[in-house]
Amino acid sequence: MHYLTDHLFGIFIVLGLRYLLVSNNVISKIPFLKRDEFPFKVDNFSNRISIPNERINSNSNSTHDPPVLQEKIFHFTKESIAKLKAKANLEMKTTKISSLQAVLAHVWQSVIRCRNLDHNEETTFEVPIDMRKRLNPPLPEGFFGNAIYPATITVKTGELLEHGGFAWAALQINEMIASHDHEKFKCIYENWMKDPEVTKLGDLPSNYFMLHNSPRFNFNEYDFGWGKPIAQRGGVSNMLEGKIDVSPGLEEGSIIFEICLSPNAIQALEEHKMFFGVE
C-alpha cells in the first residue's frame, strides 16, 4: 500500500499558515477529527501496528543510479475532452465512462504505443479512490485524514492497443473503480491490518502508471496568503516514472496533465499525432 494523501490534508497546512500570518479569515470547512465514526473495526486490534524491519524497504541502501526523467505539461481543452468521452461511450455502447476516465485511458494507451512494447507485456494503471462516500455509512463531511485507496488495473499491452483501444481501457478503469464498494474496502482494510505491508515505489513493475490526484481535488481553492494559485506542479522531489498529476485548467472544463516519463518517451509522445486529437 502506498502512502497517499488527498486534498483535505491541505487544511492542516492552510490553518498553520493562517495563524502565522495572523489572518482574520475563518475556517470555511471545519475538519472532523473523531475516529470512532470510521465504520471498520478489527477484533483484538491495538492502536499500534508492528511492521518487522525486514519488511520495510528503504531507498537509502539502493546502489542503482536513478533514472533520467522529464516532466511535461499537456493541456486538454474542454472540447477535446468531450470528444474523447463521447468516443469512448459510443464505442463501448454505454454512458457511464466519465471525462477523466476517457482521458486517462487515452494517455495510458498513447504512452504504451510510443514504447513499442511486446504485446504480451503487462501494464498497470493505479487510480486513487476516495472512500468517503463509498462507505456505509459514509464518512462525515470534512473527515480529516487519509481516506483514499490506490486501486489498480493490470492488462496486457496488446489488449490496450488492439482489444478495443482506449475506449475499452476507459471501460476497464470505470468498472474497476465501481467495484470498490463498502464491502471491498472493508476486506482490504482488514487484510492489511492483519498483514501490514509497506511498498517501496522503486519496487513497482515496469510500465506502471499512477494517477496522483484528481481535478476534483481543487488545490486552486487554497489561499496561503499570497493570492489564488494559477498552476499546480509536482516538483523535482516527486518525480517518478509513470506518475501523472492532474489539475483543473484555468479554462473552465479543461484539464492539465503533468506526466513524468523518460526523455525518449516524452519526445515520442510529443511527436505522436493521435495524442493531441481524436480520429
In the set 36, 203, 223, 245, the catalytic residue is: 223
User: In the structure, what pLDDT confidence band is assigned to residue 204 with cuts at 50, 70 and 90?
Assistant: confident
Q: Which stretch of 69-73, 74-78, 247-251, 253-257 has the lowest confidence by average pLDDT?
A: 247-251
Domain boundaries, the chain: 7-33+68-276
Three-state secondary structure readout of 15-46: HHHHHHCCCCCCCCCCCECCCCCCCCCCCCCC
CA distance 113 to 269: 9
Q: What CATH number is given for 7-33+68-276 in this structure?
A: 3.30.559.10
Confidence at 247, pLDDT banded by 50, 70, 90: confident
205 cis-preceded (ω within 30 degrees of 0): no
Q: Look up residue 219 and give its three cell numbers.
A: 488545490
Residue 47 in this model has a pLDDT that exceeds 90: no
Over the stretch 100-151, which tens digit does the pLDDT of each residue have?
Answer: 999 999 999 999 998 888 999 999 999 999 888 899 888 887 788 778 899 9
- In this prediction, residue 55 carries a pLDDT of 57
**pLDDT greater than 60 at residue 164:** yes
Give residue 189's pLDDT band: very low, low, confident or very high (50, 70, 90). confident
Rounded Cα distance, 32 and 27, in Å: 13
What are the CB-based long-range contacts (under 8 Å, 24+) for 1-6?
1/150, 1/192, 1/197, 1/198, 1/199, 2/126, 2/150, 2/199, 2/201, 2/210, 4/128, 4/146, 4/148, 4/150, 4/212, 5/146, 5/148, 6/128, 6/130, 6/146, 6/147, 6/148, 6/213, 6/217
Residue 223 is among the residues annotated as catalytic for this protein = yes
Please tell me the number of Cα atoms within 13 Å of 264 on its side-chain side.
Answer: 7
Is pLDDT at 1 greater than 50 in this prediction?
no
**99 pLDDT tier (thresholds 50, 70, 90):** very high
Mean pLDDT of 72-80: 93
- Please give the average per-residue pLDDT across 8-24, as a whole number: 52
Mean pLDDT of the chain, nearest integer: 80
Give the 3-state secondary structure of residue 215. Answer: coil
Looking at the chain, how many residues does it have?
279
